[in-house]
Amino acid sequence: MFCYQCEETNKGEGCTVAGVCGKKDEVAILQDMLIYVLKGISISNIEAKKLGIKNEKADIFIANELFSTITNTNFNKTYFLNKIKEAIKLRDEINNEISINHDYDAVTWTPKDDEDILKKAREVGVLSTDNEDIRSLRQLLTYGLKGMAAYIHHAYELGKKDQEIFDFMQEGLSATIKNLSADELTSLVLKCGEYGIKTMALLDDANTSSYGHPEPTNVNIGVGNNPGILISGHDLKDLEELLYQTEGTGVDVYTHGEMLPSNAYPYFKKYKHFIGNYGNSWWKQKDEFDKFNGPILLTSNCLVPPKESYKDRVYLTGVVGFEDLKYIPERTKGKQKDFSSIINHAKKCKSPEKLEEGNITIGFAHNTLINSADKILNAIKSGDIKQFVVMAGCDGRHKERDYYTEFAKRLPSDSVILTAGCAKYRYNKLKLGDIGGIPRVIDAGQCNDSYSLVVIAKKLSEILKVDINDLPIIYNIAWYEQKAFLVLLALLSLGVKNIILGPKIPAFVSKNVLNVLVENFNIKPNTTIENDLKNLKLVA
Ligand code: SF4
Ligand code: SF4
C-alpha cells in the first residue's frame, strides 16, 4: 500500500505497511482499485452524456464511493470488494449502451475473481504515476474531488443535486488517467476549488432549506439523567430521523465532534430530548465513547477503529464501514432509516458520565453574520476589531496541534477568530470573551460551512470596496483530511493569498508544485507562534 492523503501520514511521507489511521494494507489497495474503476466509469459516462444519455445512478455512485475512500470513513475490505464489482457492472452497462472502444484500461479491465482484483489493486495506486510532479497534481485533484464527494453526498441525501458538479467531478477524475500536462492539471486543480465553492453552496442550501438558518446558540456540554445516543459525523438527515424516532422514548440525543453545529439549527431545537454536545473532536472518541455509556451512531467520516470496551455500542450508517460493527441500512424510498435497534440498545444503558459542564456558543453562519454586518462594520471602523483571523479546518491527534490553542490564547484582544470545522475544539472552550457583543470565536459550523467564511469575505470586500486580500482577514488554517483540502482549494480559487497552512504541508504536494503555490499564492507552512504572530502583523 501507499497512502499519503492525510496530514498524519507516516513520517510525513506516506503509510506503506498499515495506516496511522488504522487502515489495513488490503483496504488501502482496494480503495485505490475502486477509485481506478470510478475513473473508468467517468470516462464512459462522459461519452454517454455526449450522446444525450444521462445516468444519475452513475453520477451519485461515483460521488458516494469516492466519499467512502476519505480518511476515517470505511475500513471494511468486503465493502470495497463488493463496490468494485458493482462499479465494474455499472461501467459495463454504460459501455454496452454506447459501444465504447477505448484505450483506457480503467474503461475495459475486467477481473476473473477476487484474487485478480487484489493483484490488479497493487498496480493502480498513487505510485503508478512515475513523474513526481504529475503524481502530485493528480493527487491534489483527486483529494479535492474526494472532499467534494462528501459534500455532494450530504446535499443529495437532502434532495439537492447539480448536474454541473457531477460533470466536473467526472471530468476531474478522468483527467487523472489522461496524459495531461502539469499546466493542464494545475488549472483543473484550481477549477476544483471553484467547484468546491459551488458544492458548499449547494449543501448550504440543502441544510438551510431543510432546517432553517443556524442561529446563535449556547450549547449545553453537560449531561442529563436519561440514557442517551451519541451521534457523530456530518449527516443532518440521519440526525433528523434519529430525533424523530427517539422522541418520547426516554432516550436523549447528544452530538459529538463535527455534529456539534447541528445544535444551532432551528428545526432541531424543537426536540426537548436533544440535550447538547458531548466531548470534543473526532480523535478523542476512544476516551469519550467509553464514558458515554450508551450507543454511538457514526454517520460519516471520523471513525477511529474502536476499542473492545465500547465496540458493541458502535453503530454505523451511510458509507461508513468497519468489519463486525453493527450497520443501520440505507433508507428505502419514502421511508426513514430504521433506528429502532440503536434506540432499544440505548434503553438498556446507563446515562452518560459527566465530562464537563457549562455551554459553548455556536451558530454564526453567514445568515447571522450578514444580519450583524452593521455591528461588525462599526467595530472595524472604530478600531475595536483590528483583525479577523481565520483558524478554520481540522483537529488531529498529534501534540503539535497544541500550537493552535496557544496561538488563539496569544492573539491580541482586538482580534476575532473566524472558524469552521473541528479545529475549533482547540480553542472554543477558552473563554476568550467578546468585543461589544461580538464573540471572539465566531463559529460558522462544520468544515463544509467554511462556505460561510467565503460569503463573509466576499460581502466585506463588496461593502468596503477593497480586494479580498486587503480585508482585515488573515488565514492560519489547520488541515487533516481531504474535505479541508477542498476548502483550501476553494480559498485559492478566490485568489486568497498569504495563507499559513499547518501543522504540516501535505506530503502529496511535491517541491515544484509547492513552489508554484508559493509563487502564486504565497502559501507558507506554520512555524513558531512568535514568528507567525509577527509574520501576520499581529504583534510588533
Ligand atoms: S488516510 Fe492518512 S493515516 Fe490513513 S493510510 Fe492514508 S495517509 Fe495513512
Ligand atoms: S474539520 Fe477536518 S477532520 Fe474535521 S471532519 Fe472536517 S475535514 Fe474532517
Query: Atom 6 in ligand 2: which residue has the minimum CA distance?
Result: 447
Q: Which residue's entry shows cell 443501520? A: 328
Expressed in angstroms and rounded, the spacing between residue 22 Cα and the centre of ligand 1 is 8
CA of 403 to the centre of ligand 2 (A): 18
Give the span between the Cα atoms of 455 and 16, in whole angstroms: 40
The pLDDT assigned to 454 comes to 87
| Residue among 200, 258, 298 to mutate when testing ligand 2 (max atoms within 8 A of CB) | 258
Count Cβ atoms within 10 A of the Cβ of residue 338 and give its class: 0-12 exposed, 13-18 middle, 19 or more buried. Answer: middle
Residue with CA at minimum distance from ligand 2 atom 3:
394
CA 508 to chain centre: 18
Q: What is the pLDDT along the chain (540 residues), one digit of tens a residue?
A: 999 999 999 999 999 999 999 999 999 999 999 999 999 999 999 999 999 999 999 999 999 999 999 999 999 999 999 999 999 999 999 999 997 767 899 999 999 999 999 999 999 999 999 999 999 999 999 999 999 999 999 999 999 999 999 999 999 999 999 999 999 999 999 999 999 999 999 999 999 999 999 999 999 999 999 999 999 999 999 999 999 999 999 999 999 999 999 999 999 999 999 999 999 999 999 999 999 999 999 999 999 999 999 999 999 999 999 999 999 999 998 999 999 999 999 999 999 999 999 999 999 999 999 999 899 999 999 999 999 999 999 999 999 999 999 999 999 999 999 999 999 999 999 999 999 999 999 999 999 899 999 888 998 999 999 999 999 999 999 999 999 999 999 999 999 999 999 999 999 999 999 999 999 999 999 999 999 999 898 887
Question: Which of 447, 451, 482 is the best mutation target for the ligand 2 pocket, counting ligand atoms within 8 Å of the beta carbon and taking the most?
Answer: 447
Dist. CA 13 → ligand 2 center (Å):
20
- Counting from 1 in the atom list of ligand 1, the atom nearest the Cα of 28 is 5
Residue nearest to atom 6 of ligand 1 (CA): 3
Q: Show the domains of the chain with their CATH numbers.
A: 10-210 (1.20.1270.20), 217-347 (3.40.50.2030), 365-535 (3.40.50.2030)
Ligand 1 pocket test, pick from 71, 394, 398 with the greatest ligand atom count within 8 Å of Cβ, gives: 71
| Rounded distance from Cα 300 to ligand 2 centre (Å) | 11
DSSP of 88-155, one letter per residue?
A: HHHHHHHHHHHT---S-HHHH---SSHHHHHHHHTTSSGGG--SHHHHHHHHHHHHHHHHHHHHHHHH
The enclosing H or E element of 47 equals helix 25-50
Pairing assessment for the beta strands 434-435 and 438-439 based on DSSP bridges:
antiparallel
Q: Which ligand has the shortest distance to the CA of 126?
A: 1
Which residue is listed with cell 470510478?
38
Contact (Cβ atoms closer than 8 angstroms) between residue 419 and residue 388: no
Torsion of CA 272, 275, 276, 282, to 10 degrees: -130
Taking CA atoms only, the protein residue closest to ligand 1 atom 2 is 6
Give the torsion sign (CA, 155, 156, 157, 158).
Answer: positive
Is 119 within 8 Å of 65 (Cβ atoms)? no
CA angle 506, 507, 509 (to 5 degrees): 70
Peptide bond before residue 305 is cis, with ω within 30 degrees of 0: no
Whole-angstrom Cα distance, residue 172 to residue 285? 34
